[in-house]
Chain A
Amino acid sequence: MQREQKIGTITKVSGPLVVAEGMEGAEMYEVVKVSKEKLIGEIIELEGDKASIQVYESTSGIGPGEPVYRTGAPLRVELGPGLLETFYDGIQRPLDVLEKQTGAFIARGVEVPGLSRTKKWEFVPKVKKGDKVEEGDALGTVQETTLIEHKVLVPPRISGTIQEIKKGNFTIEEVIAKVKNKEGKIDDLKMYQKWPVRKERPTKEELIPIEPLVTGQRVIDAFFPITKGGTACIPGPFGSGKTVVQHQLSKWADADIVIFVGCGERGNEMTDVLLEFPELKDPRTGEPLMKRTVLIANTSNMPVAAREASIYTGITIGEYFRDMGYKVALMADSTSRWAEALREISGRLEEMPGEEAYPAYLGSRTAAFYERAGRVICLGSEKREGSLSVIGAVSPPGGDLSEPVSQNTLRVTKVFWGLDDALASRRHFPAINWLTSYSLYAKEIEPYMKEKVAEDWVELRTEAMVILQQEDSLKEIVRLVGVEALSLKEQLVLDTAKSIREDFLQQNAFDPIDTYTSLKKDYWMLKIILTFHQKGLEALDRGVELEKILTLPIKEKIAKAKFVEEKKMGDLEKLVGEIGKVIEGVKVEK
């Protein structure tokens, strides 16, 4: 508004890229309004008075000679009450408001603020006149949804003494506090702040993540855990169930806030999320999941430049909630589409291409994005601890992981969930391959697992994984010479591995009970399977026939363990003893 009088002139239009001259004094990443229609764009290259601008909307009908208005500010998001439960596009325009303004199809040149200017929020102050505050301190709170108390923070770089603080119902544009700093300057504080999306929000200190992010998905929690503040990568060819895994994580992960960025994905899928989340109940509080969720959708047919911005919009909102001391999880589906947007813009800038025509800076951009995750001590005198976990999906063309986006992502993320086409076509879901996946956090969370789950957790997990490894090599032999060539114990290993695969790793996202499993239940389920294995080995030593062990009716109960409700976990505990007794009871035939 105030600085839009500075005007440049368009000289070139090529798809989403516009070049303008007369732009002296403009800054990199400054937001501009292009043409009379005021399409939103961002400066991505400066050369003399010439600026290359990526435009977030269709540039059809735009031509040389038209004006470019400067705004003097970089691309920013609005951070304050009203973020939750909202469905945004890639540059934080609420899609429901857009629909009201332009109908079912997204027209261009529409400017809508990220947060409602008219809605009133009840502000409850936590400080009083005369108190000293520093950056990151909570001035007060707003009950944003039934689940989340929104802390109104002193923005970075502001500190001093409270001159005035209000209480009551306000819109976000009203001043709720005045802070006088050491130089005697008074800052008017509102309930919201703006932050440039490409800039990391500051923190006091970074910490090593030590607590798992419990996702309720057995293969992840038990075998390849991610931490609160950790990063993970899910690459998968199409049809391997990548999206279902992402949805499951955003539904069940034990984060306080979930941010789901649909980056260049299917429109119907985002609609599905939108319809489903308000219906789904948070397993811990019984409230609709939507109350802790922010959705960002830039579907594949929406303008490509806004797709590039969407993951930054998402992560900035994530950092903001982390700064309040919340545990935040961000899902980005899919970062490959983000990288493609980068490639398209780079191509139009006629930059020197790197691998597969991706720009040479793909690696550094990817790393910088994932580096914004982490467990931190937030700004503020309270020393709140917050965390931001990032889970990025990658869609490698043809399922080939050697391509640049997958490789650059693997270099910076610490967990790899390798989705496998072959497993998916066998209808093994989630189709995460247990032989190729890994998690570098397994060691770091051991103390937590020992304390909160069970003393023998680590041994149990290791044993299960060893059995799966053995199965892989034994299967080779079976393929060559048949099952008969194996010893009885090896045959039992095969059976146990099958049980781990089918009764533990396979999990039905659409079954009301099976869809979520707690860490404790993970433990008992594994314990049951491995007790059967141990007792089976002992029985074989006694001379019991293998056939007799494998046909014991108690195996039914093992297979049904996944359908035992969390409340009835005691049943599983009892089953462990029962298995022991049953197998010990099998008589040896003379």
Chain B
Amino acid sequence: MLKAYKTVTEVSGPLLIVEKVSDVKFEEMVEVELPSGERRRGRVLEIDRDRAVVQMFEATRGLVVEGAKAKFLGRGLELPVSIDMLGRVFDGAGRPKDGGPEIIPEKKLDIGGNPINPYARDYPTDFIQTGVSSIDGMNPLVRGQKLPIFSGSGLPHNRLAAQIARQAKVIGKGAEKAKFAVVFGAMGITFEEAQYFINQFRQTGAIERAVLYINLADDPVVERITLPRMALTCAEYLAFEKDMHILVILTDMTNYAQALREISAARKEIPGRRGYPGYLYTDLATLYERAGRIKGKKGSITQIPVLAMPEDDKTHPIPDLTGYITEGQIMIDRGLHMRGIYPPVDVLPSLSRLKDKGIGPDKTREDHAGISNQLYAAYASGKEAKELAVILGEAALTDMDKKFSKFADGFEDKFVRQGEFEDRTVDETLDLGWKLLTILPRSELKRVKEEQIEKYMPKVKK
């Protein structure tokens, strides 16, 4: 017995105010019926006695106060889930967007999700091979990690994300048996970008093991708030009930945060930094923290959120707060991109906090940690030498500086640069690293073990 109220008194941005209601619950779903018969959905954001503030999930354009009927549905926002979701495309409200039929649900799940008990978590330790050297070699991703891509407008972060989604696989013991799937959530991206992803998934057949949630730039802004929660609820279902290893790609988190700001402003909340609400950290955490592994469950959720940093500024609230929650970041560099290097990953400010436990003898190779540190140190020295050369001229460099400078060039050109469809194994990546190190004198290789130099270094004396 659902009551419908004709007491809609105010529409303000994405918010709707309904008065004289009774028995309404916080975060309850609302269906608004317009005089034309059209239905739109929303959710209770605040309830004060008999006055409910409802956040609409769809555009409020065309909404009228007069004649609108608000029906409170007596339940929270739920996502119908089923294994048949694989291979499908949905919109931000969870409706099919690919022309296919509605999902016949196995069950319905609240999209808010409950926090994982930290005691029940299992520490991420399994290496994921992305086939991208700058990630696998330098900042490896492990299963259950959340590793964002920090980028800027106009940079090829989406191509990189798509490449990772295509190539990601687990190597090592028992890897063959693992079921793998991608959940892709796009918020406020353009039609072309969305089409690019869909085509990528179609061409490689990956769409069979993917669930896509897409909200385009001209779709309702508020759906961007629910979209990642839908995607993650779907991922949790597949991971922890269907034993699959899920890679969740969320792009672009900047659009998400802006949508959040829009709602916050409409509610007239006191803004924090740059107008973003004070609870942005907590809100982002409720998304990012839904990555992980759980003791006794086979599946896992790995997250790669993509965000275009406004003005390439790392200290902007969105990347800043993201960085405090996620376990590292992959930095996309404009300079490398300008020089035509794909993927333009700057390994120096990039970081993977969980790499230490994911690499090594049983996971990748014994020399992985050593060579990664050595490449990092050598590249940093090379970059410094190059900066010096810019100020003082090439002639001012010592012989050693010149070698490092040459190494840095080689590193960018051979190691970082690779084809969009080039899938390197971790062995290939590491061997490539060793090959590059031959540019430097042996005495400079302080971070790799002597016996590993003997074993892995190509025996060409230059």
Query: Which residues of A pack against B, CB within 8 Å?
Result: 11-15, 19, 58-65, 87, 95-96, 98-99, 102-108, 238-239, 262, 264, 266-268, 270-272, 274-275, 297, 299-304, 337, 340-341, 343-344, 347, 353, 356-357, 395, 397-400, 425-427, 510
On whether the beta carbons of B282 and A98 are closer than 8 Å, the reply is: no
Q: Can you name 30 A-B pairs with beta carbons within 8 Å? A: A13-B46, A14-B26, A58-B114, A60-B26, A62-B26, A64-B50, A87-B119, A95-B119, A98-B117, A103-B120, A105-B114, A105-B117, A267-B115, A267-B118, A267-B289, A270-B121, A271-B118, A271-B122, A300-B288, A300-B289, A302-B115, A304-B282, A340-B278, A340-B279, A353-B270, A356-B272, A357-B270, A398-B315, A398-B320, A427-B377
On whether the beta carbons of A106 and B114 are closer than 8 Å, the reply is: yes
Residue from B25, B76, B281, B380 in contact with A340 in the complex, judged by beta carbons closer than 8 Å: B281
From known contacts A398-B315, A425-B348, infer whether A61 and B26 are also in contact, taking CB-CB under 8 Å.
Answer: yes
Interface string of B278-298 (1 = CB under 8 A from A): 110110011011101011110
From known contacts A63-B28, A399-B315, A400-B315, infer whether A267 and B116 are also in contact, taking CB-CB under 8 Å.
Answer: yes
* B23 close to A (CB within 8 Å): yes
Given contacts A264-B285, A301-B282, A353-B270, 13 further A-B contacts (CB under 8 A): A14-B26, A64-B22, A106-B115, A106-B116, A106-B117, A267-B116, A268-B121, A274-B118, A301-B290, A302-B115, A357-B270, A397-B273, A427-B373
With a cutoff of 8 Å between Cβ atoms, the chain A residues found around residue B46 in the complex are 12-15
On whether the beta carbons of A268 and B144 are closer than 8 Å, the reply is: yes
Taking the closest CB of chain A, its distance from the CB of B231, in whole angstroms, is 16
Residue from B145, B282, B321 in contact with A344 in the complex, judged by beta carbons closer than 8 Å: B282
Output the nearest chain A residue to B279 by Cβ-Cβ distance.
Answer: A344
With a cutoff of 8 Å between Cβ atoms, the chain A residues found around residue B325 in the complex are 266, 300
On whether the beta carbons of B114 and A107 are closer than 8 Å, the reply is: yes
Question: In which size bucket is the chain B interface?
Answer: 35 or more
On whether the beta carbons of A238 and B324 are closer than 8 Å, the reply is: yes
Q: Which of B28, B119, B281, B376 is the most central at the interface, judged by chain A CB atoms within 10 Å of its CB?
A: B119
* B13 close to A (CB within 8 Å): no
With a cutoff of 8 Å between Cβ atoms, the chain B residues found around residue A102 in the complex are 117
Q: Complex formed: what's the CA distance from A400 to B269 in Å?
A: 24
Taking the closest CB of chain B, its distance from the CB of A359, in whole angstroms, is 10
* B419 close to A (CB within 8 Å): no
Q: Complex formed: what's the CA distance from A238 to B288 in Å?
A: 16
Taking the closest CB of chain B, its distance from the CB of A192, in whole angstroms, is 22
The A-contacting residues of B in range 92-111, CB under 8 angstroms, are 110
Q: Complex formed: what's the CA distance from A104 to B121 in Å?
A: 8
* B5 close to A (CB within 8 Å): no
Q: Complex formed: what's the CA distance from A70 to B348 in Å?
A: 55
Output the nearest chain B residue to A307 by Cβ-Cβ distance.
Answer: B282
* B247 close to A (CB within 8 Å): no
Taking the closest CB of chain B, its distance from the CB of A85, in whole angstroms, is 13
Q: Complex formed: what's the CA distance from A108 to B76 in Å?
A: 15
On whether the beta carbons of A340 and B323 are closer than 8 Å, the reply is: no
On whether the beta carbons of A301 and B24 are closer than 8 Å, the reply is: no
With a cutoff of 8 Å between Cβ atoms, the chain B residues found around residue A274 in the complex are 118-119
With a cutoff of 8 Å between Cβ atoms, the chain A residues found around residue B240 in the complex are 104
On whether the beta carbons of B281 and A337 are closer than 8 Å, the reply is: yes
From known contacts A64-B50, A301-B285, infer whether A356 and B377 are also in contact, taking CB-CB under 8 Å.
Answer: no
On whether the beta carbons of B121 and A65 are closer than 8 Å, the reply is: no
Q: Complex formed: what's the CA distance from A551 to B67 in Å?
A: 89
With a cutoff of 8 Å between Cβ atoms, the chain A residues found around residue B409 in the complex are none
With a cutoff of 8 Å between Cβ atoms, the chain B residues found around residue A268 in the complex are 121, 123-124, 144-145, 292, 327, 354
On whether the beta carbons of A397 and B321 are closer than 8 Å, the reply is: yes
Interface string of B357-399 (1 = CB under 8 A from A): 0000000000000000100110010000000000000000000
Residue from A59, A60, A64, A300 in contact with B281 in the complex, judged by beta carbons closer than 8 Å: A300
On whether the beta carbons of A105 and B76 are closer than 8 Å, the reply is: no
Taking the closest CB of chain B, its distance from the CB of A332, in whole angstroms, is 15
With a cutoff of 8 Å between Cβ atoms, the chain B residues found around residue A275 in the complex are 123
Taking the closest CB of chain A, its distance from the CB of B376, in whole angstroms, is 7
Q: Complex formed: what's the CA distance from A357 to B50 in Å?
A: 29
On whether the beta carbons of B320 and A238 are closer than 8 Å, the reply is: yes
Q: Which of B26, B46, B117, B120 is the most central at the interface, judged by chain A CB atoms within 10 Å of its CB?
A: B117
Q: Complex formed: what's the CA distance from A344 to B282 in Å?
A: 9
Q: Complex formed: what's the CA distance from A182 to B29 in Å?
A: 62
From known contacts A239-B351, A268-B121, A353-B270, infer whether A105 and B48 are also in contact, taking CB-CB under 8 Å.
Answer: no
Q: Which of A64, A108, A239, A399 is the most central at the interface, judged by chain B CB atoms within 10 Å of its CB?
A: A64
Residue from A61, A108, A343 in contact with B278 in the complex, judged by beta carbons closer than 8 Å: A343
Q: Complex formed: what's the CA distance from A510 to B359 in Å?
A: 15
With a cutoff of 8 Å between Cβ atoms, the chain A residues found around residue B122 in the complex are 271
Q: Which of B26, B28, B144, B271 is the most central at the interface, judged by chain A CB atoms within 10 Å of its CB?
A: B26
Interface string of B333-354 (1 = CB under 8 A from A): 0000000000000001101001
From known contacts A60-B26, A99-B120, infer whether A104 and B294 are also in contact, taking CB-CB under 8 Å.
Answer: yes
From known contacts A59-B26, A340-B282, A425-B349, infer whether A270 and B118 are also in contact, taking CB-CB under 8 Å.
Answer: yes
Q: Complex formed: what's the CA distance from A98 to B27 in Å?
A: 25
* B356 close to A (CB within 8 Å): yes
With a cutoff of 8 Å between Cβ atoms, the chain A residues found around residue B377 in the complex are 427
Output the nearest chain A residue to B77 by Cβ-Cβ distance.
Answer: A60
With a cutoff of 8 Å between Cβ atoms, the chain B residues found around residue A107 in the complex are 114
On whether the beta carbons of B320 and A299 are closer than 8 Å, the reply is: no
* B310 close to A (CB within 8 Å): no
Q: Complex formed: what's the CA distance from A297 to B145 in Å?
A: 19
On whether the beta carbons of A104 and B297 are closer than 8 Å, the reply is: yes
- Complex A-B, nearest 7 residue pairs according to Cβ-Cβ distance, in ascending order: A398-B315, A300-B285, A301-B289, A63-B25, A95-B119, A105-B114, A104-B120
On whether the beta carbons of B48 and A11 are closer than 8 Å, the reply is: yes
Q: Complex formed: what's the CA distance from A239 to B118 in Å?
A: 22
On whether the beta carbons of B295 and A61 are closer than 8 Å, the reply is: no
* B39 close to A (CB within 8 Å): no
Q: Complex formed: what's the CA distance from A425 to B279 in Å?
A: 29
* B3 close to A (CB within 8 Å): no
Taking the closest CB of chain B, its distance from the CB of A216, in whole angstroms, is 20
With a cutoff of 8 Å between Cβ atoms, the chain B residues found around residue A398 in the complex are 314-317, 320
Q: Complex formed: what's the CA distance from A103 to B26 in Å?
A: 25
Output the nearest chain A residue to B269 by Cβ-Cβ distance.
Answer: A347
With a cutoff of 8 Å between Cβ atoms, the chain B residues found around residue A270 in the complex are 118, 121
From known contacts A64-B24, A267-B292, infer whether A104 and B317 are also in contact, taking CB-CB under 8 Å.
Answer: no
